[in-house]
Structure 1
Amino acid sequence: MQKISVIGGSRYFGKLLVERLVSAGHQVTVINRGSTPPPAGAEHLVVDRNDESALIAALGSRTFDVVVDQICYTPVQAAIAARVFSGRTRRYVMTSTIEVYDPATAELPTVPPGTPVPEEAVDASTWQVAMDLPWHDAAYLQAHYAEGKRQAEAVFARHQGFGFAAVRSAHVLGGGAAEFTGRLAHYVEHVTRGTQITVHAEALPTVFIHYEELADLLLWVATLTDVTGPINACSDGPLDVHDLGAVIAAQAGRKAMYVSAAEGEPASPFSFDRHYVMSNARAKELGFSFSHTTSWLPGAVAEALAASAAPTA
Structure 2
Amino acid sequence: MRKICVIGGSRYFGKLLVQRLQAADHRVTVINRGSTSPPAGVEHLVADRNDDAALTDALSSRTFDVVVDQVCYTPVQAAIATRVFGGRTRRYVMTSTIEVYDPATAALTAVPVSVPMPEETVDPATWPVSTDLPWHDGTYLEAHYAEGKRQAEAVFTQAAGFEFASVRSAHVLGGGVQEFTGRLAHYVERIAQGKEITVHAEALPTVFIHYEELADLLLWATTATGFTGPVNACSDGLLGVRDLSAVVAAQTGRQPVYRTVARGETASPFSFDRHYAMSNARAKCLGFSFSRTADWLPGAVAEALATSAVPTI
**Category of TM-score, reference length = shorter chain:** over 0.9
Where does residue 124 of structure 2 map in the other structure?
124
Is 1:308 aligned to 2:305, yes or no?
no
Where does residue 143 of structure 2 map in the other structure?
143
How many residues end up aligned between the 2 structures? 311
Q: 1:310, CA displacement in angstroms? A: 8.4
Where does residue 153 of structure 1 map in the other structure?
153
Q: 1:41, CA displacement in angstroms? A: 1.9
- For residues 192 and 113 of structure 1, the distance between their equivalents in structure 2, rounded to whole angstroms, comes to 32
DSSP-derived class of the 1:57 partner: helix
Residues 73-92 of structure 1: pairs in structure 2 closer than 5 A: 73-92=73-92
Where does residue 258 of structure 2 map in the other structure?
258
Q: Is the 8 A contact 1:33 1:47 kept in 2?
A: yes
- For residues 34 and 251 of structure 2, the distance between their equivalents in structure 1, rounded to whole angstroms, comes to 38
Where does residue 24 of structure 1 map in the other structure?
24
After superposition, give the CA deviation of every residue in 1:19-75 in whole Å (9 maximum; x if it has no partner).
000000000000001111112221100111001100000000000000000000000
Deviation >6 Å, runs of 4+: none
Partner AA of 1:60 in structure 2: S
- For residues 9 and 222 of structure 1, the distance between their equivalents in structure 2, rounded to whole angstroms, comes to 14
Partner AA of 2:275 in structure 1: H
Partner AA of 2:116 in structure 1: P
Where does residue 267 of structure 2 map in the other structure?
267
Percent sequence identity over aligned pairs: 76
DSSP-derived class of the 1:126 partner: coil
Where does residue 198 of structure 1 map in the other structure?
198
- Which deviates further from its counterpart, 31-40 or 5-14? 31-40
Q: 1:309, CA displacement in angstroms? A: 2.5
After superposition, give the CA deviation of every residue in 1:94-132 in whole Å (9 maximum; x if it has no partner).
000001011000000000221010000110111111111
User: 1:310 and 1:16, CA in 2 relative to 1: closer, same or farther beyond 3 A?
Assistant: farther
Q: Is the 8 A contact 1:96 1:169 kept in 2?
A: yes
Residues 153-302 of structure 1: pairs in structure 2 closer than 5 A: 153-302=153-302
- For residues 171 and 99 of structure 1, the distance between their equivalents in structure 2, rounded to whole angstroms, comes to 9
Query: What 5-or-longer segments of structure 1 have no aligned partner?
Result: none
Q: Is the 8 A contact 1:15 1:39 kept in 2?
A: no
Q: 1:256, CA displacement in angstroms? A: 1.0
Q: Is the 8 A contact 1:68 1:93 kept in 2?
A: yes
- For residues 54 and 104 of structure 1, the distance between their equivalents in structure 2, rounded to whole angstroms, comes to 37
After superposition, give the CA deviation of every residue in 1:227-272 in whole Å (9 maximum; x if it has no partner).
2000000000010000000000001111111100122210111000
Q: 1:226, CA displacement in angstroms? A: 3.3
Q: Is the 8 A contact 2:103 2:275 kept in 1?
A: no
After superposition, give the CA deviation of every residue in 1:5-26 in whole Å (9 maximum; x if it has no partner).
0000000000000000000000
RMSD: 1.1
- For residues 289 and 87 of structure 1, the distance between their equivalents in structure 2, rounded to whole angstroms, comes to 33
Where does residue 101 of structure 2 map in the other structure?
101
Q: Is the 8 A contact 2:237 2:292 kept in 1?
A: yes
Partner AA of 2:138 in structure 1: A
Q: Is the 8 A contact 1:5 1:29 kept in 2?
A: yes
Where does residue 64 of structure 1 map in the other structure?
64
Q: Is the 8 A contact 2:261 2:267 kept in 1?
A: yes
After superposition, give the CA deviation of every residue in 1:289-313 in whole Å (9 maximum; x if it has no partner).
00000111000000001111289xx
DSSP-derived class of the 2:306 partner: helix
- For residues 40 and 287 of structure 1, the distance between their equivalents in structure 2, rounded to whole angstroms, comes to 32
